């Protein structure tokens, strides 16, 4: 699809931006297991109140029919039309430290032009580092810390925080293209892939968002509190644990994941698959077992289901 207008519009009321700030990128879309990225985008916008520096054009980058905007119907009239947003902003962390934030939807169109514009912003603002996160489902247990695979040009982060280093080909995202182009330009860039339990990948798993924030902290030294997410995660895990404890089959499944995860972390090489999946239950099988367990509960206990 050819570009039909300007890719972005700079904000006329944008504040002065110090040079040398870190840039954080959070793009929702193709790979967002556990809703990790969508939740941190909400956190950034609601808790940090970032100030837009540039707003990207939906008419150029967004496929409206694939991701339809929301609109409210109030009895006899329409209100509150809410199209998706993709913005470069100036934000401040919990300690008041400034940083650049590129957050919103992954573009459907114009990837090359989008990547070129981001590289221009990185150069214009002399960004010190660029860090992005996304999340994929993996056969790992929810009872262990969420691991990460780290790519990019920052070998210190890869050596310290990459628990799985595969040799593979994957469908790319706009984030991958940005990292690829930034690395070629000599920018200090790091991409964190969060490895989310595959049976929770289709839920809003608060631990995934917390792991995303922790990864950003590791890479940038920015501080994010996320207290509401932490409280939500405690409640979420309590519900999951109750369901697991109430089902022998589900308990065996999770225990098998734990044994394989622990064996890998204890001695497997990073170049090998993280977990041999041949004899593990699939995400669908785990989800089906959860549904069977929930079906045996009394109607009055519906509030104990996984969110």
Q: What is the pLDDT of residue 3?
A: 59
Same domain, 135 and 243: no
Same domain, 208 and 94: yes
Same domain, 155 and 98: yes
Contact 190, 157 (CB under 8 A): yes
Same domain, 272 and 186: no
Say if 1 falls within a structural domain.
no
Same domain, 168 and 293: no
Same domain, 216 and 250: no
**What is the residue range of 254's domain?**
232-304
Domain termination site, one of 206, 225, 244: 225
d(CA 257, CA 5): 50
**What residue spans of the chain are helical by DSSP H?**
36-47, 58-61, 111-124, 155-161, 174-184, 206-220, 227-245, 248-267, 283-295
Domain termination site, one of 225, 252, 282: 225
Contact 5, 60 (CB under 8 A): yes
Both tokens assigned to 232:
């939500």
Give the model confidence (pLDDT) of 241-283 as tens digits: 998 898 888 899 899 999 888 888 886 544 334 444 444 445 5
Say if 2 falls within a structural domain.
no
Contact 214, 135 (CB under 8 A): no
Say if 273 falls within a structural domain.
yes
Contact 242, 177 (CB under 8 A): no
Q: Give the torsion through C-alpha atoms of 120, 52, 215, 255, to 10 deg.
A: -120
Say if 14 falls within a structural domain.
no
Domain termination site, one of 159, 193, 225: 225
Same domain, 208 and 299: no
Neighbouring CB atoms inside 10 A of 202's CB total 13
Q: What is the pLDDT of residue 39?
A: 97
Q: Is the dihedral of CA 246, 250, 252, 254 positive or negative?
A: negative
Give the model confidence (pLDDT) of 69-128 as tens digits: 999 999 999 999 999 999 999 999 999 999 999 999 999 999 999 999 999 999 999 999
Same domain, 42 and 109: yes
Same domain, 162 and 53: yes
Same domain, 92 and 220: yes
Same domain, 259 and 199: no
Give the model confidence (pLDDT) of 201-226 as tens digits: 999 999 999 999 999 999 999 999 99
How many distinct structural domains can be found in the chain? 2
Question: Buried b vs exposed e over 258-294: b needs ≥16 C-beta within 10 Å?
Answer: eebbeebeeebeeeeebbeeeebbebeebbebbeebb
Same domain, 181 and 33: yes
């Amino acid at each position: 699809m050819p570009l039909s207008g300007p890719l972005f519009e700079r904000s006329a009321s944008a504040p002065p931006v110090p040079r040398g700030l870190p840039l954080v990128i959070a793009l929702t879309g193709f790979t967002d297991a556990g809703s990790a990225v969508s939740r941190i985008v909400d956190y950034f916008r609601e808790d940090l109140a970032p100030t837009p520096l540039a707003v990207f054009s939906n008419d150029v980058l967004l496929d409206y029919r694939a991701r339809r905007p929301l609109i409210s119907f109030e009895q006899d009239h329409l209100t509150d039309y809410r199209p998706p947003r993709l913005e470069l902003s100036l934000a401040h962390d919990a300690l008041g430290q400034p940083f650049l934030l590129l957050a919103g939807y992954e573009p459907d169109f114009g990837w090359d032009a989008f990547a070129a514009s981001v590289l221009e912003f990185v150069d214009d603002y002399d960004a010190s580092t660029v860090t992005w996160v996304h999340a994929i489902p993996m056969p790992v247990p929810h009872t262990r810390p969420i691991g990460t695979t780290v790519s990019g040009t920052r070998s210190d982060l890869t050596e310290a925080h990459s628990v799985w280093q595969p040799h593979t080909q994957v469908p790319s995202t706009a984030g991958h293209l940005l990292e690829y182009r930034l690395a070629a330009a000599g920018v200090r860039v790091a991409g964190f892939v969060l490895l989310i339990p595959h049976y929770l990948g289709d839920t809003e798993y608060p631990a995934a968002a917390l792991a995303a924030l922790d990864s950003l902290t590791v890479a940038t030294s920015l501080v994010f509190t996320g207290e509401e997410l932490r409280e939500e995660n405690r409640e979420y895990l309590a519900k999951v644990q109750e369901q697991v404890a109430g089902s022998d089959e589900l308990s065996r499944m999770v225990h098998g994941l734990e044994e394989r995860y622990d064996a890998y972390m204890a001695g497997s090489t990073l170049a090998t698959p993280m977990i041999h999946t041949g004899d593990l239950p699939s995400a669908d099988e785990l989800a089906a077992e959860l549904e069977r367990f929930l079906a045996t509960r009394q109607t009055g206990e519906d509030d104990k289901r996984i969110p």
